[in-house]
Amino acid sequence: MRLPSLKCRAVVLAALVLLGLGGPAARADFLSAFSGNSQMSDAVTSSTVGVRGVVSFSVFENNSPDFVAAINKALGLSSSNKVTASTVSGGGSIDLDAKYVYLYQVVNTASPNSPAGPSIGTLLVANPNAYTSAGYFNAKTFRDSTGAVGVFNTTVQNTGLGPDPTTDDVGGNGTPSHSGETLGKLAGQDTITSFSNPKNADMSGGGNPGFTTFTFSGSDVIGPHKTSTIVFLTSNFAPQYLAGKIGDTAEPTTRSDGDIPTAVTPEPGSFVLCGLGVGLLGFYGWRRRGLNAQPAVA
């Protein structure tokens, strides 16, 4: 059997590598495979009062020069209820043309009558140096078929985007409590009276290596039965499920883990394969030029 030509092999290899690095075709839409929630309360034991919370999330894939405008269009929001992006200290200038926008909302599900009244002070998102900026959507939360996420009263308790989780997510297994949710709306001041806004986003991971850390402090700590506004990170890399954490304000090292969407950079091996493919193409071009330069035989 005749082997494919060097040119064919080089072209196929380069195409496969580039497709693998590029991921799915760009569009302006929320990715249902990365929309849902994780219940993070595995720090709670019989002897420890830890933080209990649900992190809802969604990833927006964008091919617009302005992701804020694209999100408003995708959600069909009116001019009176549109999304506006706010900067957060440490998050840098908002990257409006990022290919992916990672959105998170933290809801504290601890009982208001808990002895310690634990409040959530941090949200940690695994970060392999893949994020370009951080911010938040002021006074905005997720909304699903049952209403706004983060509403607690005598008749309604909606703690997560999609079905409310009943068990802890097993952090590190790559599977959240719930995914596959279709995001159709964002809720605002019409349904929730107060929100917690992040005060800082440590993009460098100096305080928590390997993580971007959103910090909620002062009057913006996320107390029992309270919710954060939607915070976001921007990136040019596609999502996978990796570690997320929420932290107790009283015991900063007491954290609960779960799986949330995070940006993942290609492994070094992918760059090697890409270089190999490009190198083969270059070698083919050089070889062809050399053959064409040889004098014709009489």
What total number of domains does the chain contain? Answer: 1
Does 282 map to a domain? no
Confirm if 172 and 257 have CB atoms less than 8 A apart.
Answer: yes
Residue 187 sits at φ, ψ, to 5 deg, of -100, 155
In the structure, what pLDDT confidence band is assigned to residue 172 with cuts at 50, 70 and 90? confident
Tell me whether residue 156 is exposed, middle or buried, using C-beta atoms within 10 angstroms of its C-beta: 0 to 12, 13 to 18, 19 or more.
Answer: exposed
Amino acid identity at 147: G
Question: What's the pLDDT tens digit per position in 262-288?
Answer: 998 876 544 444 445 445 555 445 455
Q: What is the mean pLDDT of the chain?
A: 82
Query: For residues 51-82, b (16+ Cβ closer than 10 Å) or e, as one string?
Result: bbbbbbbbbbbbebeebbebbbebbebeeebb
Distance CA 58, CA 104 (A): 7
Q: Give the residue-averaged pLDDT of 230-256.
A: 91
Distance CA 34, CA 37 (A): 9
pLDDT above 80 for 294: no
Distance CA 201, CA 89 (A): 6
Distances in Å between the Cα of 45 and the Cα atoms of 48, 112, 116, 244 are: 5, 18, 14, 19
Element (H, E) at 75: helix 67-75
Question: Which percentage of the chain shows pLDDT scores above 90?
Answer: 55
In the structure, what pLDDT confidence band is assigned to residue 242 with cuts at 50, 70 and 90? very high
Does 2 map to a domain? no
Does 74 map to a domain? yes
pLDDT above 90 for 114: no
Name the pTM for this structure. Answer: 0.81
Element (H, E) at 71: helix 67-75
In the structure, what pLDDT confidence band is assigned to residue 28 with cuts at 50, 70 and 90? confident
Does 18 map to a domain? no
Question: What's the pLDDT tens digit per position in 144-171?
Answer: 998 999 988 777 789 999 999 988 898 8
Distance CA 148, CA 185 (A): 9
Distance CA 211, CA 125 (A): 5
Domain that holds residue 178: 26-267
Q: List the one residue out of 39, 52, 41, 152 whose CA is nearest residue 108.
A: 52
pLDDT above 80 for 116: no
Distances in Å between the Cα of 236 and the Cα atoms of 26, 36, 61 are: 11, 21, 9
Q: How much is the pLDDT for 272?
A: 47
Q: How much is the pLDDT for 226?
A: 92
More confident residue, 19 or 43: 43
- Angle ∠(262,267,14) on CA atoms, nearest 5: 120
More confident residue, 181 or 128: 181
- Angle ∠(248,249,253) on CA atoms, nearest 5: 55
Structure tokens at 4: 């494919």
pLDDT above 90 for 291: no
Distance CA 17, CA 146 (A): 43
Q: How much is the pLDDT for 35?
A: 98
Q: How much is the pLDDT for 3?
A: 47
Q: How much is the pLDDT for 80?
A: 79
Distance CA 117, CA 140 (A): 25
Does 10 map to a domain? no
Does 17 map to a domain? no
pLDDT above 50 for 105: yes
Least confident of 18-32, 136-150, 175-189: 18-32
Does 4 map to a domain? no
